Chains A and B, each alone.
Chain A
């Protein structure tokens, strides 16, 4: 039965489905022009109504725009939309995924703090964590993400954060998010998850106990390979006043003594992330990039369904090909992560995975050179299918032994399966596989 009170003026009084939110969250049609598309507010700054209002904005007593390094209405629409899709209380966008992560770390960690991280990470994150450890006197231990006992064994009295990826890059490890979250919460630490490869359509880590979710929006969120960006989402349920995070809970000398968690409660960490970390680190997302990411989000569910369907088709094709030694895709029943994928990624484990050619390093090079539809480049999560051969590109300085240590074989190929017609993708891969065999 229809509730007769529903209708105009109903805003904010009921919940909506994922697809509706991916199109509408964060935007109310512009009050002055009625513009239906999200306007690009390409402005650095905002005229204050009066001196009292200006003071209230800077004191955070009132929500008001001050300067686009800290906030911008187009970027805010993107932030709220991702927060809504992930089930968080809010989000802060950054100029890149690595900038988002750095700021998320920077807001909660202080010198001498210890971080336990999965070892199966994007190379840029690995470098960032090691770099932060050195420059900011943080201690970081890397553990086998598949073994909960190794997470527990790495904990120390000064452990302040556990970190992992929903789907590890490039090995495709699926993380037991609830298991690791339980370990983190047992010591009063938050769990931060990079969910770039999953997107909120395939997995929402907050529903499994994660406290903070970060994304490289550059990948599937944008979906078109046009823009670099990142975002931090917080669940809003972590108790930053548990005594272990004075940097978040205590009066802040960087904001005239404001105690962010006491004053803003579940929004305190995000307020501090914006009002201090984004202010001070300065890696703001451009309004134009936010606009492009919003266009991407409007079709996120449709694109991810096709990405996943194409990825499974490609993985099954490769698994049955004699030039292929192994395929590491959690969507295949042969994957050790198949069961975890069923639990955490029931709509499919994304469309980025690696496989190993039967031949070695030279076979990989020949394979890449024989392709004409797959783009050879160093990105993932594009509408266009992408391919890279780590041993001849990103990891080319390493010996075969060193490659093995990095979990990459001489014949390992990473694919990011796009949205093209599946038969065309398979046809092109066939050409590459034939060439790879000829080379050996």
Chain B
């Protein structure tokens, strides 16, 4: 298991993560099908990566529900101590926590009927992934939800980043 600082948006190093957890088609399908994202470990600090991502997802129409026992409210949304306290359906559970915290989060994600478990950069937990997959969830690992959204649906190409997107079809008009 590779343990790195779990706060960055994206991985700086090649990892041995199973490619099925980083499949571009699955990632794009999750981004397109989801509306509500619970961010576990969302920081109220505007300079933290988790805050950048929450801010970005809200701009792009997702409802972001903070899961952080030490915050009362972030982005004007009530912050919950755990996933099980959230009173509305959750599509994606996005995790900014240490890898050893993931199995419990995965069990909660299954319990609340989430559709996908998304583990941010450096959050690598095969046990958590197994629990989530056994519960019927899709699993993304060691990928950033903001980068992947910007790569497939947004404006990542405006900053000269390598999106890997090749297409002869007209771009979607950005709303």
Residues of A with Cβ closer than 8 Å to B?
5, 8, 10-16, 20-21, 24-26, 28-32, 34, 56, 59-65, 71, 73, 75-77, 79-80, 83-84, 88-93, 236-241, 251, 257-259, 261-268, 270-271, 274
Number of residue pairs A-B, CB distance < 8 angstroms:
160
Q: How far is the CB of B22 from chain A (nearest CB, A)?
A: 11
Q: Are A13 and B25 in contact (CB under 8 A)?
A: yes
User: Which A residues are CB-close (under 8 A) to B169?
Assistant: 8, 11, 28-29
Nearest residue (CB) in A for B24 is: A13
User: Which B residues are CB-close (under 8 A) to A14?
Assistant: 24
Q: How far is the CB of A52 from chain B (nearest CB, A)?
A: 8
Interface residues on B, range: 35 or more
Residues of B with Cβ closer than 8 Å to A?
5, 7-14, 23-25, 28, 46-49, 52, 55-56, 59, 121, 144, 147, 150-152, 154-174
Q: How far is the CB of A341 from chain B (nearest CB, A)?
A: 27
Q: Are A90 and B160 in contact (CB under 8 A)?
A: yes
Q: Complex formed: what's the CA distance from A76 to B171 in Å?
A: 15
Nearest residue (CB) in B for A35 is: B170
Q: Complex formed: what's the CA distance from A184 to B101 in Å?
A: 36
User: Given that A80-B163, A267-B161 are known contacts, is A236 also in contact with B12, CB under 8 Å in the complex?
Assistant: yes
Q: Are A31 and B173 in contact (CB under 8 A)?
A: yes
If A29-B167, A29-B171, A83-B161 are given as contacts, then 5 extra A-B residue pairs at C-beta distance below 8 Å, sorted by A number, are A8-B169, A31-B174, A61-B56, A61-B59, A239-B12
Q: Are B47 and A259 in contact (CB under 8 A)?
A: yes
Q: Complex formed: what's the CA distance from A310 to B155 in Å?
A: 42
User: Given that A31-B170, A34-B170 are known contacts, is A265 also in contact with B28, CB under 8 Å in the complex?
Assistant: no
Among candidates A11, A59, A62, residue contacting B167 with C-beta atoms closer than 8 Å:
A11
Q: Are B164 and A28 in contact (CB under 8 A)?
A: no
- Determine chain B's interface SS by DSSP, over half rule: loop
User: Which A residues are CB-close (under 8 A) to B156?
Assistant: 63
Q: Are B8 and A263 in contact (CB under 8 A)?
A: yes
Nearest residue (CB) in B for A87 is: B162
Q: Complex formed: what's the CA distance from A25 to B165 in Å?
A: 7
User: Which B residues are CB-close (under 8 A) to A89?
Assistant: 161-162
User: Given that A83-B162, A237-B14, A238-B12 are known contacts, is A29 also in contact with B168, CB under 8 Å in the complex?
Assistant: yes
Among candidates B8, B56, B168, B171, residue contacting A264 with C-beta atoms closer than 8 Å:
B8
Q: Complex formed: what's the CA distance from A144 to B144 in Å?
A: 42
User: Which A residues are CB-close (under 8 A) to B171?
Assistant: 28-31
Among candidates B59, B144, B160, residue contacting A76 with C-beta atoms closer than 8 Å:
B160
Name 9 A/B residue pairs within 8 A (Cβ), A-sorted. Answer: A11-B167, A13-B28, A31-B172, A63-B155, A76-B158, A90-B159, A239-B12, A239-B13, A264-B8
Among candidates B24, B150, B152, residue contacting A63 with C-beta atoms closer than 8 Å:
B150
User: Which A residues are CB-close (under 8 A) to B152?
Assistant: 11-12
Q: Complex formed: what's the CA distance from A157 to B172 in Å?
A: 51
Q: Are B162 and A12 in contact (CB under 8 A)?
A: no
Nearest residue (CB) in B for A28 is: B171
Q: Are A71 and B159 in contact (CB under 8 A)?
A: yes
User: Which A residues are CB-close (under 8 A) to B12?
Assistant: 236-241, 261, 265-266, 268
